[in-house]
Chains A and B, each alone.
Chain A
Amino acid sequence: MKKISVITILALSWVVGLTSFAAYADEAPTKAEPQIAAPAENAAATSAAEPAAAAPTEPQLVTADKISSGDTAWMLTSSGLVLFMTIPGLALFYAGMVRKKNLLATIMQSFAITCVVSVLWWAVGYSLAFTPGSTPYLGGLSRLFMHGMRFVFDAKTPQLTVSHLALTIPESVYAMFQMTFAIITPALICGAFAERMKFSAMLIFMAIWSVVVYAPVAHWVWEPSGWLATMGVLDYAGGTVVHINAGIAALVCALVLGKRIGYGREFMAPHNLALTMIGASMLWVGWFGFNAGSAVAADGRAGMAMMVTQLATAAAALGWMFIEWILKGKPSVLGIASGAVAGLVAITPASGFVDPSGSMIIGLAAGVVCYFSATSLKHALGYDDSLDAFGVHCVGGILGALLTGVFANKEISGQDASLATQAIGVACTLIYSGVVSYVLLKIIDMTIGLRVSEEDERMGLDVSLHGEHVE
């Protein structure tokens, strides 16, 4: 008892200190603001003036002098960072949490999805997501097979295409950056059906899902003519498009596939949390490409997005660690790593809109709320979301999307935020992704089947699906 009270005091003092500082930080610097804000406004005005004059609504050919080498360098780097989140970051994060007999199968899912989605993004995904279509619900076909994406060599003035969403970097870099988002989103779903889904069924589901769910939702929220974007839904780096979208599909997967054999009776503890911790750390680092990269520029807003990402993640990791320490007696490695991921998820839609104080509150809330969704909620409702893809990504994503409406700071984004509009974005994504995922899974189940046989599941997917194993 004495130990518990000491921990509680530790945790409480940290929370109180945090919130009181956040409150102080909100009020204190008002006097200093004008001096700091003035040059920032000037800079924003000049950089905004050029695109405003052209106001393109679709990809176009420009001369290379329109390209910013600083922005391009950062976006090339960000693309690499976000790919690194999936392979090996997410792959290891998940692989450490399964039983050893399913380690390779779990890593394989992330890697194979990376390959399949890359090809599909080239063929259809990019065009459906990031070109204006004839309706606000789906992009056009003008960039099928990346047709029209060009770089034309010329010794004096090379020409190249730029996306209307990113005027200072080559279109190839923007499409590549967005491709890495299209890759990680389906890969996140794998946490829900770990240790029991057929590899073939998984590949088919993910391939179709990336085209019929991911690409349209990305279009709705991020392409300026998309209907949720027009409505004013704010999603800086993918709380709605990536995490709610993948998280609700994950819940549907867990429900349709059913529980693992022996769930709740047999020992299913993670086999190597060192892998999980390495994966979580790679996700954290890679997430700077995800959030700060979503500025699509090497600028002040990217810097602010990076800062709030770091703060929210730390706050969430501590939040999860302390609540678990208080309730269960020990601060666990899995707990602090899970909390960090929950914080990263929750700050994703808000980065680029909130200030450091807001990010601390979002992070802390994410750590505590996701702790309960991944532990109490899951066990109360009885579904087997094996690695908590729903409990962390969907719940954390919803929390972040809604809190973006609360804590968005107009000084940073220049945009108005509304809790109600955010809620509409959340609800539409939940319904669309949930329903389409359910239909897809049912069709696959009726044709080739979703689950491996009981014998194969007991043997482990490494041997039964891939003919390999690790010692």
Chain B
Amino acid sequence: MKYITAFIKPHKLDEVREALNDVGVSGLSVTEIRGFGRQKGHKEIYRGAEYKVEFVAKLKVEVAVKAELAERVSETIVAAARTGSIGDGKVFIWDLESAVRIRTGEKDTAAI
């Protein structure tokens, strides 16, 4: 099993969700986060007081999949989330040791 964490631009969420649905991903989690990478923040001015906003709003998408599906899911996210401009985000793939579905007690691939 693999655990995939993707950082994407907020307005790309719907496209990513639809694309993942099409490749058979049946569930995912989304968190609003702030961060920075190569894309720097922006400047805000309030009555002459200038603030540099270093952290940019992003979404963190997390999804657990069977190992053989991981590469396809990653490619799908990259394709759906790409705009070509700086700040499109990143995808990380992790090894996942085990999983349990709380309601039924099912384990591992049956649980994801």
Interface of A toward B, CB cutoff 8 Å: 267-270, 328, 330, 332, 334-335, 338, 374-376, 378-379, 388
For B, the interface residue count at a CB cutoff of 8 angstroms equals 7
Are B48 and A374 touching (Cβ within 8 A)?
Answer: yes
Contact with A along B30-66 (1 / 0, CB 8 A): 0000000000000011111101000000000000000
- Chain B residue numbers with a CB within 8 Å of A376 are 48
Are A270 and B51 touching (Cβ within 8 A)?
Answer: no
* Bound Cα distance A338, B48 (Å): 12
Are B51 and A338 touching (Cβ within 8 A)?
Answer: no
Are A335 and B47 touching (Cβ within 8 A)?
Answer: yes
Q: Tell me which of B44, B49, B51 contacts A379 (CB under 8 A).
A: B49
- Which has the most chain A C-beta neighbours within 10 Å: B44, B45, B46, B48? B48
Are A330 and B48 touching (Cβ within 8 A)?
Answer: no
- Chain A residue numbers with a CB within 8 Å of B46 are 269-270, 332, 334
- Chain B residue numbers with a CB within 8 Å of A374 are 47-48
Are B49 and A268 touching (Cβ within 8 A)?
Answer: yes
- Chain A residue numbers with a CB within 8 Å of B51 are 267-269
CB distance from A280 to the nearest CB of B (A): 13
B interface majority secondary structure? strand
- Chain A residue numbers with a CB within 8 Å of B45 are 328, 330, 332
Are A269 and B47 touching (Cβ within 8 A)?
Answer: no
- Chain B residue numbers with a CB within 8 Å of A268 are 49, 51
* Bound Cα distance A335, B47 (Å): 7
Given contacts A269-B46, A332-B45, 19 further A-B contacts (CB under 8 A): A267-B51, A268-B51, A269-B44, A269-B49, A269-B51, A270-B46, A330-B45, A332-B46, A334-B46, A334-B47, A338-B47, A374-B48, A375-B47, A375-B49, A376-B48, A378-B48, A379-B48, A379-B49, A388-B47
* Bound Cα distance A378, B45 (Å): 15
* Bound Cα distance A420, B27 (Å): 76
CB distance from B6 to the nearest CB of A (A): 28
* Bound Cα distance A48, B55 (Å): 66
- Chain B residue numbers with a CB within 8 Å of A267 are 51
Identify 8 residue pairs between A and B in the complex whose beta-carbon atoms are under 8 Å apart, listed by A's number. A268-B49, A268-B51, A269-B49, A328-B45, A328-B48, A375-B48, A376-B48, A378-B48
CB distance from B108 to the nearest CB of A (A): 38
- Chain B residue numbers with a CB within 8 Å of A379 are 48-49
- Chain A residue numbers with a CB within 8 Å of B49 are 268-269, 375, 379
* Bound Cα distance A268, B44 (Å): 11
- Chain A residue numbers with a CB within 8 Å of B48 are 328, 374-376, 378-379
* Bound Cα distance A335, B51 (Å): 16
CB distance from A117 to the nearest CB of B (A): 28
Kindly identify, within residues 56 to 96 of chain B, every residue whose CB is under 8 Å from any CB belonging to chain A.
none
CB distance from A43 to the nearest CB of B (A): 45
For the complex of A and B, the 4 pairs showing the least CB-CB separation, nearest first, are A375-B48, A374-B47, A328-B45, A269-B46
Q: Closest B-chain residue to A263, C-beta based?
A: B49
- Chain B residue numbers with a CB within 8 Å of A328 are 45, 48
* Bound Cα distance A267, B52 (Å): 9
* Bound Cα distance A247, B66 (Å): 67
Q: Closest B-chain residue to A273, C-beta based?
A: B46
* Bound Cα distance A270, B44 (Å): 11
- Chain B residue numbers with a CB within 8 Å of A388 are 47
- Chain A residue numbers with a CB within 8 Å of B47 are 334-335, 338, 374-375, 388
* Bound Cα distance A460, B87 (Å): 34
CB distance from B34 to the nearest CB of A (A): 12
- Which has the most chain B C-beta neighbours within 10 Å: A269, A334, A376? A269
* Bound Cα distance A368, B8 (Å): 42
CB distance from B11 to the nearest CB of A (A): 22
CB distance from B54 to the nearest CB of A (A): 10
* Bound Cα distance A338, B44 (Å): 17
CB distance from A383 to the nearest CB of B (A): 13
- Chain B residue numbers with a CB within 8 Å of A269 are 44, 46, 49, 51
* Bound Cα distance A267, B46 (Å): 11
- Chain A residue numbers with a CB within 8 Å of B44 are 269
* Bound Cα distance A378, B47 (Å): 10
CB distance from A84 to the nearest CB of B (A): 25
- Chain B residue numbers with a CB within 8 Å of A332 are 45-46
* Bound Cα distance A330, B45 (Å): 9
- Chain B residue numbers with a CB within 8 Å of A338 are 47
* Bound Cα distance A4, B4 (Å): 46
CB distance from A370 to the nearest CB of B (A): 10
Q: Closest A-chain residue to B50, C-beta based?
A: A328
* Bound Cα distance A346, B38 (Å): 47
Q: Closest B-chain residue to A388, C-beta based?
A: B47
- Chain B residue numbers with a CB within 8 Å of A375 are 47-49
* Bound Cα distance A268, B49 (Å): 9
Q: Closest B-chain residue to A375, C-beta based?
A: B48
